[in-house]
Amino acid sequence: MLSRTADHLFWMSRYIERAENLARLLDVTWQMSMVPQSEEAANQNWRAIITLNSLDEAFSAKYDTVNAENVLRFMVRDADNYSSIYSCLRMARENAHAVRGTVTSEMWETLNFTWLEARDRTFEEIFNAGIGEFFEWVKMRSSLSRGTTLGTLLQDESYHFIRLGTLLERADNTARILDVKYHVLRPHGDEGATDFYQWGALLRSVSAFEVYRKAYRDVITPERVAELLILRDDMPRSLHFCMNGVVKNLELIANRHSGETQRQAGLLHAQLHYARVEDILAQGLHEWLTDFMDRIYILGDGISKDFLVPLAEAA
Amino acid sequence: MNFYNEMMDANGGVRAHYQRYDDWLKSTPPERIARKRAEADLAFHRVGITFAVYGEEAGKERLIPFDIVPRIIPSAEWKALQSGLRQRVKALNMFLHDVYHNQEILKAGKIPAEQVLNNAQYRPVMQGVDVPGGIYAHIAGVDIVRAGAGEFYVLEDNLRVPSGVSYMLEDRKMMMRLFPELFAKHKVAPVQHYPDMLLEKLRAVSPKGVSNPTVVVLTPGAYNSAYFEHTFLAQQMGVELVEGRDLFVKDEVVYMQTTQGPQRVDVIYRRIDDDYLDPQAFRADSTLGIPGILRAYQAGNVTLANAIGTGVADDKSIYPYVPDMIRFYLGEEPKLNNVPTYMCRKKDDLEYVLAHLPELVVKEVHGAGGYGMLVGPASTKEQIEHFRKLLIAKPDGYIGQPTLALSNCPTFVEEGIAPRHLDLRPFVLSSGECVNMVPGGLTRVALTKGSLVVNSSQGGGTKDTWVLED
């Protein structure tokens, strides 16, 4: 397969996954903001989203104050913000457009239609119709995109690059959601009365509330939430699950340059496979997640160099 | 002016081959038709069958309007057209081979040598280069119109990178989806095998000694106006769609960059103009091309379809000589009419054109896409005077032709169904001795009342084209 084609497929799937996870993060923040709390605490939650995406400067260039409306405006429909849901859907579509002969027509139509619908709605229209519904819509469109991929695409190299993009992005995004929310919910390790709702909302944001009940049949504790989202290898949004897929798909596309990238992926996977949540928490969850995200970044870089950017030897 | 109506005869009666369609149209509730037309619009949008217009906001895409009244061609008429097209494209390929080899036709004085050798589209780098099967124009899009008395004319031969075939295929798919009952009532000759036919032709012209060639489609990229078509054809043929930056040349062999390393490429269906193909040989500022590809081509290690230098045969200044080419190479009389053409570089012709500007169509010799032309009867005094100045300043840059009474066909427009002018572009595929085409082609229709310009960049639309089987 053409390196450039693989590159577009990889980023197409990363952007649609990113849009979905952003919708999830904004959704949980929106829901948590409805639990009684001080205005300062509420705005703190919104600021965390901006900081998490390293957008402080870009945000303050356009908006004076951090509050729910401004952050939503910025992260949902702002065309100037390359990290907004709007921009992610556009980039997913642009990448698909560049390889529309490689993806199936159903896949292309799904992403094209998603983009056309998103493009034609102003923030006011989205907000007035219910922002929660919009987040649901983004999630459904992402599911549809994944479904058409699974249901229609030949499972050759193109499929492996798409899966690789999806899983790498999801691993990063789940780690981010967990990092920002864990930090806000448990800054000092003490527990409060709102915990059940807050943790419940976090679990729901990664579609893990029912999963949690099923897996633990017990009250929600922060340790178990961390365990579920990091270590359970049967939970589709957990870090372990994502790394399973990353390792598998990397093996399927291996070439003679990719040995080091595969080794690093294997190492990260093994560490998740044999880790205990107590050890991770003892080390400090924030530090652990930061390290994890750095390594995901390095993996993405390695994949780019090994497969996607034409190699210097050629020219 | 007297126009030929494709559906109605001179007495207002429905022509025999349109009778069933007319019955259907009269018995179908207008609401159903309106609903189906809206459905077609939505589907074209969702599928993204769009084209980009140069000069408009970057990345903006427009739909080409699709009309649900088909252009129907009876079997006998198509057979005559097809036979004429075979003859014409065969002669054009022979002309190209001759021009780039012994130049017999120039020696015989049938075409003034300077007309060919000084033509900007003549490529000296092709002199003496042998191409597989002697085929230069593997894909030809020949524009045909029908004039007042029902007779066909060839308006121009597009031998460089003719486009539009994807609309022909998508229009058929759309008609079958919207109105399946019509296809039960008519024996419409199928066209959907075009990509197979094209792939077969491309594989047939691979370089010597290559038994299982790697074929690719080369596109200028996602912002090209015909990008949809490039992706469509690559997908339908099951070959890679590449951009210049995906290819490189090493030791006169072309490779593409793949996830598993370099892979050799044998046949390139290129949708990039000659000028942009190789920055080392042609335009140095081209970022779309592949440095060194010309040398790989000259060495016979890769086939380009179409070949480099085909423009010298479809240039408007060469067009008047096509009937002579047919007589010279094939010893036959041309089966298709050429439009009488005044070559303004000739003094007498120029004088005639200047004296008859309000009646004539004046075209730039190297123009395309319906730009840079004057349609005398539809122009203002100012426009005519403007062209008069252009003609006097640079007579050899223009030709003049009588304004043809392009035939029309009922078409859905704002105010209901009204006649609109149309043309036909069949796509003619050549490899070796074999010249093939799918029945029909792309019908383009000028949606503006009275307009004779059917180009999509100028607001033209398309119709499904039906060749009826006996």
ipTM of the complex, rounded to two decimals: 0.77
**Spatial distance between the Cα atoms of B15 and B12, rounded to a whole number of angstroms:** 9
Task: List the one residue out of B443, B438, B440, B439 whose CA is nearest residue B167.
Answer: B443
- Cβ-count burial A134-156 (b if 16+ within 10 Å, e if not): bbebbbebbebbbebbeeebeee
User: What is the least distance, in Å, from the CA of A69 to any CA of chain B?
Assistant: 30
Residues of A in contact with B257 (CB under 8 A): 2-4, 310-311, 314
Which of A106-110, B156-160, B458-462 is predicted least confidently?
Answer: B458-462
Q: How many CB atoms lie within 10 A of CB B3?
A: 14
Nearest CB to A109 within list B47, B222, B228: B47
Element at A189 (helix H, strand E): none
> Which phi and psi angles does B131 have, rounded to 5°?
-110, 150
Q: What is the pTM of this model?
A: 0.84
Residue B51 has pLDDT above 80, yes or no: no
The string of pLDDT tens digits covering residues A269-284 is 999 999 999 999 998 9
Q: In the 8-state DSSP scheme, what is residue A35?
A: S
Judge: A102–B235 Cβ closer than 8 Å, yes or no.
yes
Longest alpha-carbon distance in chain A: 64
Predicted confidence band of residue A57 (pLDDT cuts 50, 70, 90): very high
Q: Do B235 and A315 touch (CB under 8 A)?
A: no
- Determine what percent of chain A is predicted with pLDDT higher than 70: 94
Q: Is B127 on the interface with A (CB under 8 A)?
A: no
3-class SS string, chain B: CCCCECCECCCCCECHHHHHHHHHHHHCCHHHHHHHHHHHHHHHHHHCCEEECCCCCCCCEEECCEEEEEEEECHHHHHHHHHHHHHHHHHHHHHHHHHCCCCHHHHCCCCCHHHHHCCCCCCHHHCCCCCHHHCCCCEEEEEEEECCCCCEEEEEEECCCCCCHHHHHHHHHHHHHHCHHHHHHCCECCCCCHHHHHHHHHHHCCCCCCCCCCEEEECCCCCCCCHHHHHHHHHHHCCEEECHHHEEEECCEEEEEECCEEEECCEEEECCCHHHHCCCCCCCCCCCCCCCHHHHHHCCCCEEECCCCCHHHHCCCCHHHHHHHHHHHHCCCCCCEECCCEECCCHHHHHHHHHCHHHEEEEECCCCCCCCEEEHHHCCHHHHHHHHHHHHHCHHHEEEEECCCCCEEEEEECCEEEEEEEEEECEEEEECCEEEECCCCEEEEECCCCCCCCCHHHCEEEEEEEEECC
Pick the residue of A4, A115, A311 with the most B CBs within 10 A to test the interface with B by mutation: A4
Taking the CA of residue A5 and the nearest CA in chain B, the distance in Å comes to 9
Paired strand residues for B435: B430
B311 and B137 Cβ atoms separated by less than 8 Å: no
User: What is the structure's pLDDT at A53?
Assistant: 85
**pLDDT exceeds cutoff 70 at B16:** yes
Q: Residue A82: what residue type?
A: Y
b/e B8-27 (16+ beta carbons within 10 angstroms → b): beeeeebeebbeebbeebee
The answer to whether the CB of B30 falls within 8 A of the CB of B68 is no
Range of A43-47, A196-200, B450-454 with top mean pLDDT: A43-47
Specify the pLDDT at position A145.
97
Asked if residues B215 and B239 have their Cβ atoms less than 8 Å apart, the reply is yes
Q: Compute, in degrees rounded to 10, the torsion defined by CA atoms B256, B257, B261, B267.
A: -10
The pLDDT tens digits of the residues spanning B336-359 come to 999 999 999 889 999 999 999 999
- Contacts B256 to A, Cβ<8 Å: 2
Whether the CB-CB separation of A83 and B31 falls below 8 Å is answered with no
Q: Locate B447 and state its tokens.
A: 């949606």
A-chain residues near B199 (CB < 8 A): none
Q: How far apart are CA A132 and CA A120, in angstroms?
A: 18
Q: Average the pLDDT over B400-416 and give the result.
A: 91
The backbone region for B390, taken as left when phi is positive above 0, alpha when psi lies in -120 to 50, beta otherwise, is alpha
**Residue in B234, B235, B259 closest to A3 by CB:** B259
Does the beta carbon of A312 lie under 8 angstroms from any beta carbon of chain B?
no
**Strand B267-270 to strand B303-305: parallel, antiparallel, or no bridges (unpaired)?**
parallel
DSSP A81: -
**Chain A environment of B232 (Cβ under 8 Å):** 101
- Cα(A88)–Cα(A83) distance, rounded to whole angstroms? 6
Confidence of residue A112 (pLDDT cuts 50, 70, 90): very high
Q: Which of A97, A161, A311 has its CB closest to that of B222?
A: A97
A312 pLDDT band, cuts 50/70/90, is: very low
Partner residues linked to B363 by β-bridges: B373, B399
- What is the residue whose two structure tokens read 């203002």? B380
The model's pLDDT over B213-262, given as tens digits with 9 standing for 90+, comes to 999 999 999 888 888 899 999 989 999 999 999 999 999 999 999 999 89
